[in-house]
Structure 1
Amino acid sequence: MTELKTLSTPASVDSAPRARIHPAWLVAGVGFITLLGAAGFRSVPSVLMDPLHEEFGWSHGTIGAAVSLNLLLYGLISPFAAALMDRFGIRRVVACALIAVAAGSGLTVYMSQPWHLILTWGLLVGVGVGSMSMPFVATITGRWFVRQRGLVTGVLTAAGATGQLIFLPLVSAVAHAHGWRLPSLIVAGAALAVVPLVLLFIRDYPSDVGATAYGAEPDSLVGVRVQAPFGALRALTVLGTIARRPGFWLLAGGFAVCGASTNGLVGTHFVSAAHDHGMPPTAAASLLAVIGIFDVAGTIASGWLTDRVDPRYLLIGYYTLRGLSLLILPALLGPDTRPSLWMFIIFYGLDWVATVPPTVTLCRELFGNDGPVAFGWVFASHQIGSAVAATGAGVIRDLHGNYDLAWYIAGALCGIAAVMSAVIRRAPRPA
């Protein structure tokens, strides 16, 4: 008996599933590639603005209208996409979104009228990338992860910055050398190339492959398929429910300030503001690229911290420090990139989207299975804040001749966002 037991021990160890990679990591990996591409697809129109203007003679306002529609749909389609993922599955929604991006980008080579641009880059690409935005992150992490959920959220969120870093230089170089049509076809081909990966490797729930969410107990309900009967209408149903909760408005208000102080203000007007102080536009644009580099590290670090620190405290810290940095920015701008300005660039990069992992976590805690859809609406407020700040800062520049007031207002709003984060009441944890 002893001999048999001794012989059987190695076999049992060899057959143990400990060495296998949990399927959650495979889903997260394909999700990272998908988000990487979505971020690049969304940012391409800004690079093609001048080539389109030179060839067709369309005004920057006309081309900007297509970009604006793209940005608006990127935010507003998010909660509906999250609801559709609950109803029809992640694979189907993301595959259809990639096909929409490919169609929108590829069809641009045949356009001859301004409305063609609005239909393709504005509507089709906007709906496509909006369906693969931040709620996609919330859906994957909410279904597939219990342990390391914050870290994975940070890594997937960082895919946005990484996608821009990869695509923008490539698209700019190709457009300069070969015209704008080849980059459009490259985007279409890249989107179609990801479709097989999504269909082959992404599953909607861990229970579909006989597994549990990573880090979940065997009897946990996390990652178990739940049929959602309402489809796209569920987004409106969830909104009607969460709108009665103060926590939703506090999160949405804070995230609107986040969008206003990043994409809307710094992302849109930093180059112009630096140029007002004598800095060459190329140097200012390079500083924005550095922000994107540090954004990756900051978002991943924020995800790691979210697993270990109360997410409200993280939001308080992020908004407070961001507000203080914006208040002193007018004194840092000048014709040269001084060390103090470099410190601002590095810090702002680390803080750029660090708010995403704790916000996703709070949506999951406060709204349970409705968390991804709720985060879709919170993210929509982010884009609305971006749009308001992009317009408002331009008006301030026209009226006062500089952006100083815009920086001060944004700094004050960040302080308000920190207070809003402080008064959020977390849901009680189960014993």
Structure 2
Amino acid sequence: MNWAARLIGGRFHYGWLTVAVVFLVLLAAAGTRATPSVMMLPLEHQFGWSRATISLAISVNIALYGLMGPFAAAAMQRFGVRPTLLAALGTMALGVALSSLMTHPWQMVLIWGVMVGGSTGVAALSLSATVVTRWFTTRRGLVMGILTASSATGQLVFLPMLAAIAEHHGWRQVVWVVAIAAAIVIPLVAFLLPERPADMKLRPYGEPHDSPINSTVTKQNPLAIAFGTLAMASKTRDFWLLFFSFFICGASTNGYVGTHLIAMCGDYGMTEVQGASLLAAMGIFDLFGTTLSGWLSDRFNSRVLLFWYYGLRGLSLMYLPHAFGIDFFGLPLFAVFYGLDWIATVPPTVRLATDVYGKESAPVVFGWVVAGHQLGAAFAALGAGMLRASLGTYTVASMISGGLCLVAAVIVLRINRPAKVPEPQAA
């Protein structure tokens, strides 16, 4: 990595190259997480598995993806970002490749639920928060927006291609493409991702030149870090407000739309490629929306931003069942509004967590908040699949998701709200 630092010289801060490497890692992980939604219909046709059965494996994947967040952040503090990430990427590539051999539902739960879900939970938002707080003092919101947008870009790059491969060559070819993509980023992490700016004799971007270079490494057990931080944060009201608002965020994005939109489009006579293309279009708009959200969170009140994000998302979801009945503008209008808002909630949420709990504790606290996000996603993935299996339609699930978002819009206004100091009464 020192050779890379010498190569770029003083032309720009090495932190930006670190962001580029992490962006590619998150891109591969996002494509891996999106794959089960492409496989849902082919697995249903080949093995006769119901959507509720497939949704169970996806919900386990989503839940472990979230629950790994705080432990991954703690492991990065104790063992380092690079070793933790290399182990996760190797497990991810191996698990995806092994899934080409599965023939029973329990195998999908074990491989896609446990192995892939746990490993993608390391290459997730907790990684972004750790890198941002270590490498940047200024521009944190913008950088967090860029890294968060990689999830949308992963959908943009992978979903239409994977859907086309599944349609013409079968789901096993999809699995091999995703496994190779996960393996490609491993050498980039091994050779280009340092632990901290101090390893490159640098200060974080935006840090004053006269500040000391901090190279402190904790020796505490990762479990102690994760649970100790949870014990501290769980005693505060702000943590639970962040947790439950992000629970709703996960239920209304990864859990519902990310998992079921392609299958929902199939209910209205659309092909898998058309459904995946709709998700990809939403990914384009989210690439801009989330990056813009990061820029805005550096300049405006994060509570107000989150109020608008959740409120508009709720209205978009309530509109979704009606969008299929509008010939030309129906689904494109949904794709624009929902896409701009897909994960725009992340930068302001990270900003609030950092403001409340400080630079050192924020990544682990945010990891627990992400666990709430993914528990919500798991709840929605399984719940929507069960509602579809029993009612034959996704309309009720759409209305429930939209209503929860409106609740979240109210909740977020109470986060990090300064206490009112009573004025002294006049004598």
Corresponding residue of 1:99: 90
Does residue 1:356 correspond to 2:363, yes or no?
no
Taking the TM superposition and a 5 Å limit, the aligned residue runs for 1:25-424 are: 25-52=16-43, 61-111=52-102, 113-218=104-209, 220=211, 224-270=215-261, 280=270, 286-330=277-321, 332-339=322-329, 341-368=331-358, 369-393=360-384, 405-424=396-415
Change (3 A) 1:263 1:126: closer
Q: Distance in 1 between matches of 2:373 and 2:333?
A: 26
Moved more, 188-197 or 350-359: 188-197
Change (3 A) 1:294 1:226: same
Aligned partner letter, 1:292:
G
Q: What percent identity do the matched residue pairs reach?
A: 47
Q: Over aligned residues, Cα RMSD in angstroms?
A: 3.0
- TM-score when scaled to structure 1? 0.85
Change (3 A) 1:223 1:47: farther
SS in 1 for 2:222: coil
Structure ID, larger Rg: 1
Structure 1 residue 262: deviation in Å?
Answer: 2.2
1:193-241 Cα offsets, whole Å, 9 max, x none, are: 2111111111111111110110112355796433140213321221111
Structure 1 residue 244: deviation in Å?
Answer: 0.4
Q: Residues 238 and 370 of structure 1 are in contact (CA less than 8 Å); yes or no, is this contact kept in structure 2? A: yes
Aligned partner letter, 1:259:
G
Aligned partner letter, 2:187:
P
- TM-score when scaled to structure 2? 0.86
SS in 2 for 1:232: helix
Contiguous gaps of at least 5 residues in structure 2 = 1-7, 420-427
Q: Distance in 2 between matches of 1:27 and 1:173?
A: 33
Q: Distance in 1 between matches of 2:231 and 2:385?
A: 34
SS in 1 for 2:123: coil
Contiguous gaps of at least 5 residues in structure 1 = 1-16
Aligned partner letter, 1:235:
A
Q: Distance in 1 between matches of 2:269 and 2:43?
A: 27
Q: Distance in 2 between matches of 1:398 and 1:252?
A: 29
Q: Residues 143 and 223 of structure 1 are in contact (CA less than 8 Å); yes or no, is this contact kept in structure 2? A: no
Q: Residues 251 and 379 of structure 2 are in contact (CA less than 8 Å); yes or no, is this contact kept in structure 1? A: yes
Moved more, 231-240 or 158-167: 231-240
Q: Residues 97 and 132 of structure 1 are in contact (CA less than 8 Å); yes or no, is this contact kept in structure 2? A: yes
SS in 2 for 1:48: helix
Aligned partner letter, 1:363:
A
Count residues with an aligned counterpart: 411
Change (3 A) 1:309 1:100: same
Q: Distance in 2 between matches of 1:284 and 1:185?
A: 22
Aligned partner letter, 1:356:
V
Aligned partner letter, 1:249:
W
Change (3 A) 1:109 1:137: same
Q: Residues 274 and 333 of structure 1 are in contact (CA less than 8 Å); yes or no, is this contact kept in structure 2? A: no
Moved more, 392-401 or 74-83: 392-401
- Bigger relative contact order, structure 1 or 2 (CA pairs below 8 A, ≥6 apart): 2
1:99-153 Cα offsets, whole Å, 9 max, x none, are: 0011112223444554443332222211111110111110110110111111111
